[in-house]
Structure 1
Amino acid sequence: MQKPLLAVLLASAFCSLNASAADLIQVYQQALANDATFASARASAAAGRERITQGRAGLLPVVGITGSSIKNDRDESPWNENAVIGTDPVTGADIRVPGGGSNLRTSQYQIALTQPLFRWAAWETYQQSKLQQAVAEAQFAQAQQDLITRVAQAYFDVLAAQDKLESTRAQKTAVTEQLASAKRNFEVGTQTITDTHEAQAAYDLVIAQEFAAVNDLDNKRNALQAIIGTEPASLAPLKSGITLNAPSPANVDPWVSSAENQNYGVTVSQLQVELAKREISKTRAGHYPTLDLVAGHTRTKVHGRSDTSGVGTNNSIGVQYTVPIFSGFSVTSRVRETIALEDKARNDLEANRRQAALQARQAYLGVNSGMAQVKALEAAEVSSQSALESNKLGYQVGVRINIDVLNAQRQLYQTRTDLSRARYDTILNGLRLKAAAGSLRESDLAAVNNLLAK
């Protein structure tokens, strides 16, 4: 009997392990692996890390090889001596053969090197590539913060929907009992039919609310599934009697200052302004000369008649410059365009700073207001419970009517729903506050996860 008993215990332990609720960190790890939006941001960051390599390429030498192999079949009369059959790519001189016809094959290859010495546009492109890579990294950091807040929002939305459904079903149970009591009292003649009708109306209403709560829970679970890529398991709820902490520092000004300077949206806008400045300088380079070091090696071989066959080589090195004179005012127009775009980037930066400050203020007020609401609703829950018990007792002794009990029940369950929602909103506003300040990290999510019942 010991072996079957041991097998049952192991099986029970295994089932309990599988049935354990997923916590916030586990759901976040699923989102890291499966969220399509975050995967897109990760790929975009990987692409952005190639910017510097591409920008630096414009300052490095370019080496290339070109070649050709040409066959010439000609039939010339003797009087057309020294006919031209081509041009030497090295010297530029004509290649001639004596009259009387020819059957020649000319093979040639050339190695060319170009090293930029002064190309201001290429230098500015390289400087812009550094800024573009920094933009990609800042956007990826923003995507990481967004994933944390999106996961937390979806997680607590599911918990709130579950709380609403549980509260509605508990209310349905209480209303069902009240309806049965009203019917019994009516049958024995101690109460009127009005009490039965009121209880029936309350029962019908709570049934409709239950359908709505089930639908809302399905929607919230589907929203979470869209993030983590799989159907969510049961979720760990908040511990009972948790204590929510106030923001630290307790003054809104440091949060706003941090948001105006460290918010990732603001950081991206600051980099965009620097990019716009570089673009102005890059566009003005259309008026500047360019200077390159050029070097080459050419080898030409002619096969055919013995009097024309031979091999020629040429090595060259020097500098090549270009001086722009007139471009139809296109460069001047593009400079004016880039100056206007820089002004736009500056205004976008100011708008993003104000938006980040607004988000920080709203989140800060949301945390403080949420904590006050939680405290008030906790007191209201105790009062509502006492009011319900008093109304039930009054109903039994005949000093309260059925509608009084129904209203007390409705108030109690609504207070409980509002209390759980206030706790979730306070926690979420704390995460949003840190996100607005640019300081939200996975460790902050771990701190929230410690508030959950394992």
Structure 2
Amino acid sequence: MEATGEHVTGKWIYWAELRAGLLGAALALVSPIVQAEGLTHAFAHAMEQDPTWAEARARYAEVLADGDLARAGYHPVLTVAGRATANHREVVGDYFGLQDIDRSDDFEAFGYSIQLRQPILRLDRWRQRDAASLRVAAAAARLNAAEVDLMLRVADAYFAALDAEQDLEFAKAELRAISDRADQVREQAQLEIATELGRSEADAQRELARARVLRAEQALLTRRAELALITGEPTMVLSAIRSYGYLPELSTTDREAWVQQARESNPLLVATRLESEVASRAVDIERAARLPTLDLIAQRDYIDNSGGVSGEREDSEDLIGLELRLPVFDGGATRARTTAAVARYEQALARQARAQRQAEFQATSAHSALLLGREQVAALRTARSATYDAVEATEGGVFAGTRTEVDLVQALRERFDAERALTRAVHGYLLNSLRLKAAAGTLGTPDLMSVNRMLDD
């Protein structure tokens, strides 16, 4: 009995030490990480490295240039042309009243032409200029939408990598616990305290735990690679949430208020509205191609011939006046372009309707997920506390002989599962808060900084 008592006491000390070690592994997940980079650092890297964001900025710069091009359509145009030629001319027969001419000559000629043209009445260009301003506004909204999308992609990838890191730490902690238990059962089997069946079961659990570690390592590599696709930083050290006591509150819990805000300010919806206006102006531009145009022109032509049939001469001509052009028939090209512009306008209206429905759905979905997420976090906090009590109760049962080591390992695993579920729920709540603000068109860097403070505190 004394030996048995020593064995039970030693087993109690063993599980107490194991529990402390596993608790330390869990706390390591939420302890400060040296030189860790938070969410705002990841976003800063993405602003510099993400190809999708770089493409969006280049597209915006392109639209700005197109706007300058449209405004240039009503500016004066000055053209200068010069010419220097070597000529050979032959004249046979009558030539300006002279009969029976048979003459050839080699000579040089120099000349230039200067023309200034100022559009006065070009309705299509006026409308192009107005449409260009709308295109710039739509491009700015698209750029804002791209920035919001980048924030969400960074946050999704960042928290996915954090989840994967946590899964790996928990898997390693479980492997250590199960491996230590398997070693203990093996020793007990040698002392004939445990059965061979128990030893086989412990070995099987250890191999399963090792497989879970390998799977978690692969998942972490994948998640970090996905984050690196955005940030360009494959070795970024992540900063984890270290306190679950505070969750950011909503400015209002009224779902309809968020949906209405999305209808008014969602960046993609704003962009599609402006693009519909641009498409409408494009129809007017094509129709204006049928209208007459009026330009003011001033021109000077000069030529200096060193020879020729008429001999050496210098000619110059100056003119100033108005030029009126009236399109009469272009083979149906204007009608075809107008029909195509109307079709593009209808497409733009359809995209606008789809964008509005998506904005409303995103706001509704994120709002519901946020409210349910808060309740889930509260429930998981209670569950986590209960698992701590369950571990202590199971330890007491092992000491009393009413519970087994298998029961204790299972209790510890449930506690780790509760920790993991709570962390994932908090991550999900924070992501849904960002998604709701993104749908409503209010997401900005201050919101990322607010989430980042939860990582740094």
Give the TM-score normalised by structure 1.
0.87
Contact kept? 1:198, 1:403, Cα under 8 Å: no
Once residues 76 and 239 of structure 1 are traced to their aligned partners in structure 2, the CA distance between those partners, rounded to angstroms, is 99
**Relative to 1, partners in 2 of residues 1:302 and 1:373: Cα closer, same or farther, differing over 3 Å?**
same
Q: Are 2:391 and 1:388 aligned?
A: yes
Q: Deviations over 1:182-215 (max 9, x none)?
A: 3344444444434333322222211110011111
- Residue number in structure 2 paired with 1:249: 252
One-letter amino acid of the counterpart of residue 59, structure 1: Y
**Relative to 1, partners in 2 of residues 1:273 and 1:75: Cα closer, same or farther, differing over 3 Å?**
closer
Contact kept? 2:369, 2:432, Cα under 8 Å: yes
- Residue number in structure 2 paired with 1:62: 77
**Relative to 1, partners in 2 of residues 1:42 and 1:76: Cα closer, same or farther, differing over 3 Å?**
closer
Once residues 240 and 161 of structure 1 are traced to their aligned partners in structure 2, the CA distance between those partners, rounded to angstroms, is 19
Once residues 356 and 195 of structure 1 are traced to their aligned partners in structure 2, the CA distance between those partners, rounded to angstroms, is 57
Question: What aligned pairs does 1:208-357 form with structure 2 within 5 A after superposition?
Answer: 208-304=211-307, 308-357=311-360
One-letter amino acid of the counterpart of residue 246, structure 2: T
Query: Shift in Å at residue 392 of structure 1?
Result: 2.8
SS of equivalent to 1:318: strand
After TM superposition, where is structure 1 displaced by more than 6 Å over at least 4 residues in a row? Answer: none
- Residue number in structure 1 paired with 2:64: 49
Question: What aligned pairs does 1:71-90 form with structure 2 within 5 A after superposition?
Answer: 71-74=86-89
Q: Deviations over 1:310-368 (max 9, x none)?
A: 32221111222222223333323332332232222112111101101111111112222
Of 132-141 and 328-337, deviating more is: 328-337
- Residue number in structure 2 paired with 1:93: none
Question: What aligned pairs does 1:92-103 form with structure 2 within 5 A after superposition?
Answer: 101-103=104-106
SS of equivalent to 1:400: coil
Once residues 254 and 223 of structure 2 are traced to their aligned partners in structure 1, the CA distance between those partners, rounded to angstroms, is 34
Contact kept? 2:307, 2:313, Cα under 8 Å: no
Contact kept? 1:269, 1:352, Cα under 8 Å: yes
- Residue number in structure 2 paired with 1:35: 50
Query: Shift in Å at residue 180 of structure 1?
Result: 3.1
Equivalent in 362, 365, 369 of residue 366 of structure 1: 369
Q: How many residues align?
A: 426
Contact kept? 1:31, 1:229, Cα under 8 Å: yes
Once residues 314 and 167 of structure 1 are traced to their aligned partners in structure 2, the CA distance between those partners, rounded to angstroms, is 91
Q: Are 2:451 and 1:436 aligned?
A: no
**Relative to 1, partners in 2 of residues 1:297 and 1:202: Cα closer, same or farther, differing over 3 Å?**
same
One-letter amino acid of the counterpart of residue 71, structure 1: A
Q: Are 2:26 and 1:23 aligned?
A: no
Contact kept? 1:168, 1:413, Cα under 8 Å: no
SS of equivalent to 2:359: helix
Query: Shift in Å at residue 19 of structure 1?
Result: 4.6
Contact kept? 2:105, 2:309, Cα under 8 Å: no
Once residues 18 and 371 of structure 1 are traced to their aligned partners in structure 2, the CA distance between those partners, rounded to angstroms, is 27
**Relative to 1, partners in 2 of residues 1:242 and 1:453: Cα closer, same or farther, differing over 3 Å?**
farther
Contact kept? 1:242, 1:451, Cα under 8 Å: no
Once residues 40 and 49 of structure 1 are traced to their aligned partners in structure 2, the CA distance between those partners, rounded to angstroms, is 14
SS of equivalent to 1:421: helix
Contact kept? 1:74, 1:102, Cα under 8 Å: yes
One-letter amino acid of the counterpart of residue 203, structure 2: Q
One-letter amino acid of the counterpart of residue 23, structure 1: G
Query: Shift in Å at residue 83 of structure 1?
Result: 8.7
Question: What aligned pairs does 1:70-219 form with structure 2 within 5 A after superposition?
Answer: 70-74=85-89, 101-219=104-222
Once residues 430 and 393 of structure 1 are traced to their aligned partners in structure 2, the CA distance between those partners, rounded to angstroms, is 42
Once residues 424 and 118 of structure 2 are traced to their aligned partners in structure 1, the CA distance between those partners, rounded to angstroms, is 66
Once residues 308 and 295 of structure 2 are traced to their aligned partners in structure 1, the CA distance between those partners, rounded to angstroms, is 41
- Point out where structure 2 has 5 or more consecutive residues left out of the alignment: 1-31
Q: Deviations over 1:106-144 (max 9, x none)?
A: 322111122222222212211121122112211111121
**Relative to 1, partners in 2 of residues 1:191 and 1:364: Cα closer, same or farther, differing over 3 Å?**
same
**Relative to 1, partners in 2 of residues 1:101 and 1:351: Cα closer, same or farther, differing over 3 Å?**
closer
Once residues 348 and 76 of structure 1 are traced to their aligned partners in structure 2, the CA distance between those partners, rounded to angstroms, is 68
- Residue number in structure 2 paired with 1:407: 410
Q: Deviations over 1:400-444 (max 9, x none)?
A: 244433332222211111111111111111111111111111111
Once residues 427 and 392 of structure 2 are traced to their aligned partners in structure 1, the CA distance between those partners, rounded to angstroms, is 28
Query: Shift in Å at residue 74 of structure 1?
Result: 4.6
Once residues 254 and 265 of structure 1 are traced to their aligned partners in structure 2, the CA distance between those partners, rounded to angstroms, is 19
SS of equivalent to 1:112: strand
SS of equivalent to 1:49: helix
Once residues 147 and 167 of structure 2 are traced to their aligned partners in structure 1, the CA distance between those partners, rounded to angstroms, is 30
Query: Shift in Å at residue 55 of structure 1?
Result: 0.3
SS of equivalent to 1:354: helix
- Point out where structure 1 has 5 or more consecutive residues left out of the alignment: 1-16, 85-95
Contact kept? 1:51, 1:130, Cα under 8 Å: no
SS of equivalent to 2:80: strand
Q: Deviations over 1:13-50 (max 9, x none)?
A: xxxx9952122222222222222222222222222221
Contact kept? 2:91, 2:309, Cα under 8 Å: no
Q: Deviations over 1:135-172 (max 9, x none)?
A: 22111111211221222222212211111111111112
